Each structure stands twice: as structure tokens, then as C-alpha cells.
């Protein structure tokens, strides 16, 4: 009798667990299907592809200045050597130089890709800057310790 009741409880727990897992799986699939960043755009054309390529190449150039406007939610790439300014917001990419100016609409998926590339590059540069400052501090402290040791002896 006790053994039978234990089996019933275990089976009930197992069914409840399977139901929860299937519910989670279904919810994830629905959320992914409704996520605009995963939907392929019909408007993805050569101009969007080329502008995205220019943006990715420009952020990798060490002489490009990367700026973020948190209030406007815009990301800027400025390269004085090439005389190019690129402004990205959620709907479009604006490419400007002294000769031309383009406003290219961005699909949500392209925006997400470019945003992640931009933020990734900002993080790389931030880490390099921080490491550089920390290395200078270590050398300065070592020099200070050496000078103090020389004065003590």
C-alpha cells in the first residue's frame, strides 16, 4: 500500500515536471516568434548591407572616435582622417561626409547586430584604457618604493 502511494506521488510529480517544461518551451518559442529582432526583414537590401559593413569597419579603426548619447539613445562613429561621421539610432544609420549624406533604414535585426558590435568595441577600448592606467600606476608605485628604499638606506 505504501509502495503504491509512493509510485503515484512520483508519477504525479513527474507529469507536473513534464508539463512545466513543455509550458516553458512553448512560451520561449512564442516569445522568439514575436521578437522583432529575430524576424528577417523584407527591406534588407544592398544599401543596408553596405552601410552595416561601413559601420563595422569604421568602429574597428583605431583612429575612429566612438561616442554614445544615452539620452538620445544614439551611437556615433567619427573618423576625422576619412572625414566620416556615422550616427546610429534604432531606426536608421546616417552616414555623412563632406560630399554625401545617406540615411539608411535599419531592420531590428541589423540594428541589434550593429549595436552589439559597437558596444563590444567600446568595451575592448575601455579595457585597454583601464589596463594602461593600471600599468602606469604600478610602475609609479614601484618607482616610489625604490626611491623610499634608497632614502632609508
pLDDT score at 79 = 96
Asked if residue 55 and residue 123 are part of one domain, the reply reads: yes
**Could you list the residue range(s) of the whole structural domain that residue 101 is in?**
46-152
Residue 39: inside a domain: no
Residue 41: inside a domain: no
pLDDT score at 81 = 94
pLDDT category at 147 given cuts 50, 70, 90 is confident
Asked if residue 122 and residue 67 are part of one domain, the reply reads: yes
**Cβ-proximal residues to 87 (8 Å cutoff; 6+ apart), any chain:** 74, 75, 76, 93, 94, 96
Please state the rounded mean pLDDT for residues 37-60: 80
pLDDT score at 42 = 54
pLDDT at 40 over 80: no
pLDDT at 140 over 80: no
Residue 25: inside a domain: yes
Asked if residue 138 and residue 66 are part of one domain, the reply reads: yes
pLDDT at 43 over 60: no
pLDDT at 38 over 80: no
* Residue with grid cell 531592420, as numbered in its chain: 107
Asked if residue 108 and residue 61 are part of one domain, the reply reads: yes
Asked if residue 51 and residue 126 are part of one domain, the reply reads: yes
How many domains is the chain partitioned into structurally? 2
Asked if residue 55 and residue 27 are part of one domain, the reply reads: no
Asked if residue 110 and residue 66 are part of one domain, the reply reads: yes
Please state the rounded mean pLDDT for residues 120-128: 96
pLDDT at 65 over 80: yes
pLDDT at 59 over 80: yes
Asked if residue 87 and residue 66 are part of one domain, the reply reads: yes
Asked if residue 23 and residue 66 are part of one domain, the reply reads: no
Asked if residue 65 and residue 90 are part of one domain, the reply reads: yes
Paired sense of beta strands 74-79 and 92-96, if any: unpaired
* Residue with grid cell 545617406, as numbered in its chain: 102
pLDDT category at 146 given cuts 50, 70, 90 is confident
Asked if residue 28 and residue 67 are part of one domain, the reply reads: no
pLDDT score at 50 = 92
Phi, psi of 61 (to 5 degrees): -70, 130
Residue 128: inside a domain: yes
Amino acid at each position: 500500500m505504501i509502495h503504491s502511494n509512493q509510485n503515484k506521488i512520483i508519477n504525479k510529480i513527474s507529469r507536473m515536471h513534464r508539463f512545466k517544461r513543455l509550458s516553458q518551451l512553448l512560451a520561449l518559442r512564442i516569445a522568439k516568434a514575436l521578437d522583432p529582432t529575430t524576424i528577417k526583414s523584407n527591406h534588407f537590401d544592398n544599401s543596408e548591407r553596405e552601410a552595416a559593413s561601413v559601420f563595422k569597419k569604421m568602429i574597428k579603426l583605431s583612429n575612429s572616435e566612438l561616442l554614445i548619447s544615452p539620452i538620445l539613445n544614439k551611437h556615433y562613429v567619427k573618423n576625422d582622417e576619412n572625414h566620416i561621421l556615422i550616427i546610429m539610432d534604432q531606426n536608421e544609420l546616417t552616414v555623412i561626409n563632406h560630399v554625401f549624406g545617406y540615411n539608411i533604414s535599419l531592420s531590428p535585426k541589423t540594428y541589434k547586430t550593429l549595436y552589439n558590435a559597437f558596444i563590444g568595441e567600446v568595451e575592448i577600448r575601455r579595457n585597454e584604457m583601464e589596463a594602461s592606467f593600471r600599468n602606469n600606476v604600478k610602475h609609479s608605485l614601484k618607482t616610489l618604493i625604490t626611491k623610499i628604499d634608497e632614502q632609508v638606506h
